[in-house]
Amino acid sequence: MTHFLLVANDDHALELFAAELRKEKLITIHHAHSGLEAFSLIDTEKIEVVIAAQELGDSDGLTFVKKLARKHPLISCAMVSALPPDEFHEETEGLGLFMQLPQNPGAKEVARMMEILKSIHALMAI
């Protein structure tokens, strides 16, 4: 069972993404509205993948991801961002993000994310 944490200020921000993710097998989805709530869940649950929206209840996604990378570097993380890919890479380089998600991600992004995560898990098993 893989535990995902979706962090977004707005309950609807990742609604379509969550609906598509629920179709995957062996996944548990947790939700948090703020970075503080997210870190509380990370401390009590076995969170393996975090998806951060651009806006959280207490900060922006990038600020949260920077803290997450320092505190929990082994958690796989993706982030929603409207930045062009080159700018996103510059802003997030060194943070260990495995994927940039567009605004309102859906089925296509879930499928791509699952491919990437399978590759990551295969590499870690070696």
Share above pLDDT 90 across residues of the chain, in percent, rounded to a whole number: 90
Which residue's entry shows tokens 């393996």? 48
- Tell me the per-residue pLDDT of 78-122, one tens digit each, with 9 for 90 and over: 999 999 999 999 999 999 999 999 999 999 999 999 999 999 888
- What gap in Å lies between CA 54 and CA 62, rounded to an integer? 7
pLDDT the model gives residue 12: 86
pLDDT the model gives residue 63: 96
pTM score: 0.94
Spatial CA neighbour of 97 closest among 116, 124, 78, 69: 78
> What is the CATH code for 2-125?
3.40.50.2300
Average the pLDDT over 38-50 and give the result: 97
Spatial CA neighbour of 64 closest among 93, 32, 35: 35
Q: Beta strands 49-52 and 76-80: pairing type?
A: parallel
pLDDT the model gives residue 2: 92
Report phi then psi at 113, rounded to 5. -60, -40
- Compute the mean pLDDT over every residue in the chain, rounded to the nearest whole number: 94
| 3-state secondary structure string across 24-90 | CCCEEEEEECCHHHHHHHHHHCCCCEEEECCECCCCEHHHHHHHHHHHCCCCEEEEECCCCHHHHHH
Q: Taking 80 as the threshold, does the pLDDT of residue 124 lie above it? A: no
Longest dimension (CA), the chain: 39
Average the pLDDT over 17-21 and give the result: 94
